[in-house]
Amino acid sequence: MSNRIPATLIAGDGIGPEIVEATLAALDALGAPFDWEPQVAGLAGVTSSGDPLPKATLDSIRRTRLALKGPLETPSGGGYRSSNVRLREEFKLFANLRPALTIVPGGRFDKIDLVVVRENLEGLYIGHEHYVQIDDDPHAVAMATGINTRAGCRRILEFAFEHAIATGRKKVTIVHKANIMKALTGIFKETAEQMYEQKYKGRFAMDTVIVDACAMKLVLNPWQFDMLVTTNLFGDILSDLVAGLVGGLGMAPGANIGADAAIFEAVHGSAPDIAGQGKANPIALMLAAAMMLDHVKRKDLADRLRRAIDATLNIDMVRTGDLGGKASTSEFTRALVSRIRNG
């Protein structure tokens, strides 16, 4: 019986192919068990088949139920929707998991170890929007409808609570705006409090905070938080804020997880302005690959990869330009692969 694990690989746009190549080199050095099915998406998908998410790519993810993807660019014009949003909807990837851990010490914020869990399919991101014409202005009024369901709240909260227990988190903070959006985010807060009382009390501490106060507290004293759990829009904003505490999106991996599939990604953009120049920092995608290894129960390999990244940055002092170093993407990758093989 083979221990190999089929997985879809999407190189993505801009710097995507460079950071994917670097990440594959690290995974190969680890002896990671993935059998890759290369597919295209984003601008490459439009070029090859007229669709940012070609049928072959979707079919591959349906088969493998597992994917690693570089950043995708949504083509401007032409009515194209975000490929990332489409992937979440297509595979019902209801949980967005965004850890933030300080790797390079000595910054404005140090020793950060936070996880943001964001609901991925509901809220204001369902895209129910329309304009109302008044007189000769077709866009006189803009309207949007947000929807949160009890079932959707339970689903993401159960995922977050179980993840907190499995990873030893001591406190879970529910982020909401129930003082103003009493129904839309009140249902999220209410469901969290009910579930905590019924099943999770005593297994970790839980508190609640209004989203604007949370943003302020994250800047003043981020160490008071352990795990943040919130709805779609607030999670989108706060997960980027938290990434800023550890050096920016170049250090921020992400996972989109559903009942039947999981997609792991760097959450930064495709950075076409530096594509092909060897300047890209591949760490976010490498950390996403470590999360992917965790997901398939190969925490041993995931931890080896994380330790090698730490040693390459902080012992060997090999860093790309965004981290104050001079290493190219390939130079950093070679140093990391050496660390994996010899460390």
Q: Which two tokens stand for residue 193?
A: 């409090």
Shared domain for 6 and 109, answered yes or no, is: no
Residue 12 has pLDDT above 50, yes or no: yes
Shared domain for 107 and 246, answered yes or no, is: yes
Q: Select from 226, 153, 159, 156 the least CA-distant residue to 185.
A: 153
Residue 269 has pLDDT above 90, yes or no: no
Residue 103 has pLDDT above 50, yes or no: yes
Shared domain for 237 and 285, answered yes or no, is: no
Residue 283 has pLDDT above 90, yes or no: yes
The whole-number average pLDDT for the span 58-82 is 85
Q: Which two tokens stand for residue 207?
A: 């508190």
Q: Which two tokens stand for residue 117?
A: 């869990």
Last residue of a domain, one of 250, 272, 302: 250
**Considering the domain boundaries, does residue 227 fall inside one?**
yes
**H helix runs in the chain, sequence order:** 16-30, 43-49, 55-64, 83-90, 150-166, 186-195, 211-220, 232-245, 283-295, 299-314, 329-342
The whole-number average pLDDT for the span 37-52 is 87
**Considering the domain boundaries, does residue 209 fall inside one?**
yes
Quick one: pLDDT band at residue 85, thresholds 50, 70, 90? Answer: confident
pLDDT in tens, 198-247: 999 999 999 999 999 999 999 999 999 999 999 999 999 999 999 999 98
Shared domain for 106 and 234, answered yes or no, is: yes
Q: Which amino acid is at 272?
A: P
pLDDT number for residue 324: 87
**Considering the domain boundaries, does residue 285 fall inside one?**
yes
pLDDT number for residue 235: 96
Query: What's the angle, vertex CA 294, arms to CA 293 and CA 295, rounded to 5?
Result: 90
The whole-number average pLDDT for the span 32-37 is 96
Prediction pTM value:
0.93
Q: What is the CATH number of the domain that holds 1?
A: 3.40.718.10
Last residue of a domain, one of 250, 275, 299: 250
Last residue of a domain, one of 218, 250, 282: 250
Residue 272 has pLDDT above 90, yes or no: no
Residue 73 has pLDDT above 60, yes or no: yes
Q: Select from 262, 280, 263 the least CA-distant residue to 271.
A: 280
- Sequence-distant (6+) residues with CB within 8 A of 6 are 34, 35, 37, 63, 64, 66
Residue 2 has pLDDT above 70, yes or no: no
**Considering the domain boundaries, does residue 255 fall inside one?**
no
pLDDT in tens, 122-176: 998 777 889 999 999 999 999 999 999 999 999 999 999 999 999 999 999 999 9
Residue with the bigger pLDDT between 94 and 127: it is 94
pLDDT number for residue 78: 60
**For the chain, percent of residues with pLDDT exceeding 70:** 97
How many domains in the chain?
2
pLDDT number for residue 298: 95
8 Å CB contact between 259 and 65: no
pLDDT number for residue 256: 97
Shared domain for 192 and 73, answered yes or no, is: no
pLDDT number for residue 79: 63
Q: Give the integer Cα–Cα distance in Å for 200 and 193.
A: 10
Shared domain for 206 and 159, answered yes or no, is: yes
Q: Give the integer Cα–Cα distance in Å for 233 and 80.
A: 21
Quick one: pLDDT band at residue 1, thresholds 50, 70, 90? Answer: very low
pLDDT number for residue 237: 95
**Considering the domain boundaries, does residue 44 fall inside one?**
yes
Burial class from Cβ neighbours inside 10 Å (0-12, 13-18, 19+) for residue 101 reads middle
Shared domain for 192 and 271, answered yes or no, is: no
Shared domain for 122 and 241, answered yes or no, is: yes
Residue 331 has pLDDT above 50, yes or no: yes
Shared domain for 74 and 51, answered yes or no, is: yes
Q: Give the integer Cα–Cα distance in Å for 238 and 244.
A: 10
Look over the chain and give the mean of its residue pLDDT values, rounded to a whole number: 93
Quote the domain boundaries for residue 199: 99-250
Q: Give the integer Cα–Cα distance in Å for 244 and 39.
A: 31
pLDDT number for residue 81: 72
What is the CB neighbour count within 10 angstroms for residue 145?
11
Shared domain for 118 and 208, answered yes or no, is: yes
Residue 77 has pLDDT above 70, yes or no: no
pLDDT in tens, 180-200: 999 999 999 999 999 999 999
